[in-house]
Amino acid sequence: MNDLFSESLESRFDEFAPLAARMRPRTLDQFIGQEHLLGRGSPLRVLVESGTSASLILWGPPGTGKTSLANIVAISAKSRYVELSAVNATVAEVRKTINEARDLLAANGRKTILFIDEIHRFNKGQQDALLPAVENRWVTLVGATTENPYFELISALLSRCVLVKLEALGPEQIKQILRRALADGQSGLGGRVEVQEVALEHIVNTSGGDARSALNALEVCVAGAEAEGKRSVTLPMAESSLQRRQVRYDKQGDQHFEVASAFIKSIRGSDPHAALFWLARMLEAGEDARFIARRIVIAASEDVGNADPMALVVAVAAAHALEQVGLPEAQLNLSQAVTYVACAPKSNASTKAIHAATEDVRNAGDAEVPPHLRTHFSRKDRGPGYKNPHDYGGWVKQSYFPKGVAPKRYYQPTEHGREAELKRRLDELDEPR
């Protein structure tokens, strides 16, 4: 009865399956994106196309092709494909699947690809249950995760697998996937309605690099147009169907730089409210969140510096968190960093200092290190005279500049925040002793 039900379910799959499932690629040539991994002649492509069994951990944001790649691996290897979800699979189910795979391998040599979605949800006991099967190649494990596997998976399992990191898809790649869905007779969308270019771009911009999200959105828009008796999906219809208005923003043109400039200047101007507005504008428009994170890290040093050294710590932590959790949750980390850096006392003293020092270095040429500052592994003409500050209570007057370069005070701390303390200390050290 179960087999008959399964066959009936499979035969009617296209009637109810979401568009993202119907458009799942079945070969690497149909696979869009991840060129850094699957380009012609790449090690992973050669591995997959050869049908070689190698357990993989696929790590990347949602909608980047992890499940599709697992399917392609199974097809290329001509293997049985079993899919489990770590959300609800028990240890008993895992062991049952492994035992079936081992028996099948012993009986007729047929291999099993075991795909475990959200493998990071498995606890240590569940992961331990996989080890003998992966070690002895009773199954070829393909695990998919959106979380950093170095934190979520046990080292014994990681060491037995090849780690593959997938990247979020770019706008052109998402658009290519949507256009293929509109043209492909298997998708069920071909010839039903036209989707205007501006509406298509809106779907792309709201997808956040997630192909599954984009395809599902396209299906909703087409269904909405047909329900209204329309033959074309317009921008207002796409906005209405997705309950999200288009944010005018050209990520490749002037608006990218203008909005980014407004964002940076709002942080520099200590206006966290405006900075949050521009942050939200960029995120809503689908700007690369890593670009935003880099700008916050730069601002933490360029505009805050030593007036509040914690600004850099917070900014770097937010950038790191973005890589760990991804969007949309990482917008919380970016918001925290933006508000902290914007509210922090401001100083560009360290920025001006490195620019001034760089100018002098370019003018000084190849100034030699003074003899008393050279390492004792250096040249034989190293002269004596170095005074260790620790032998003098932590500070002693001596020159650290090369011969021919006049000592200069590049770093001029302000009176803002922690930098005021640094200024007082430098002033004290400059006083005659």
Residue whose C-alpha is closest to residue 26's, from 6, 46, 44, 48: 48
Peptide bond preceding 370: is omega within 30 degrees of 0, i.e. cis? Answer: no
**Rounded to 5°, angle at Cα 181 from 180 and 186:** 110
Cβ atoms 81, 49 nearer than 8 A: no
Domain locations along the chain: 34-165, 171-242, 254-343, 366-430
List, for residues 71-93, the tens digit of each pLDDT value. Answer: 888 888 888 889 988 888 888 88
Query: What is the topology classification, in CATH, of domain 171-242?
Result: Helicase, Ruva Protein; domain 3 (1.10.8)
List, for residues 409-431, the tens digit of each pLDDT value. Answer: 888 888 988 888 888 888 888 76
CA distance 275 to 334: 11
What pLDDT shows up at residue 343?
93
Query: What is the topology classification, in CATH, of domain 366-430?
Result: post-AAA+ oligomerization domain-like (1.10.3710)
List, for residues 225-235, the tens digit of each pLDDT value. Answer: 888 888 888 88
List, for residues 102-155, the tens digit of each pLDDT value. Answer: 999 999 888 899 999 989 988 888 898 899 999 999 999 999 998 888 888 999
**Rounded to 5°, angle at Cα 220 from 214 and 221:** 90
- How far is the CA of 104 from the CAs of 79, 97, 277, in angstroms? 11, 11, 58
CA distance 197 to 188: 20
* Residue where the block lists tokens 């690369």: 288
Question: Which one of 46-50, 132-136, 293-297, 377-381 scores highest in mean pLDDT?
Answer: 293-297
CA distance 171 to 260: 19
Find residue 195's DSSP bridge partners: 233
Name the CA radius of gyration of the chain, rounded: 29
Does 373 score more than 50 pLDDT? yes
Query: Is 53 or 33 the better-scoring residue by pLDDT?
Result: 33
List, for residues 311-366, the tens digit of each pLDDT value. Answer: 999 999 999 999 888 878 899 999 999 999 999 999 999 999 999 888 888 887 77
List, for residues 244-298, the tens digit of each pLDDT value. Answer: 555 555 555 456 778 889 999 999 999 999 999 999 988 887 778 889 999 999 9
List, for residues 20-33, the tens digit of each pLDDT value. Answer: 888 888 888 889 98
Start-to-end Cα distance in the chain: 96
Cβ atoms 195, 206 nearer than 8 A: no
Cβ atoms 163, 59 nearer than 8 A: yes
pTM for the complete prediction?
Answer: 0.58
Cβ atoms 271, 279 nearer than 8 A: no
* Residue where the block lists tokens 């690497």: 28
CATH of 254-343, one of 1.20.272.10, 3.40.50.10860, 3.30.360.10, 3.40.47.10: 1.20.272.10
CA distance 54 to 140: 6
What pLDDT shows up at residue 219?
86
CA distance 22 to 14: 7
CATH of 34-165, one of 2.60.120.650, 3.30.70.20, 3.40.50.620, 3.40.50.300: 3.40.50.300
CB atoms within 10 A of CB 397: 11
268 phi and psi angles, rounded to 5 deg: -60, -35
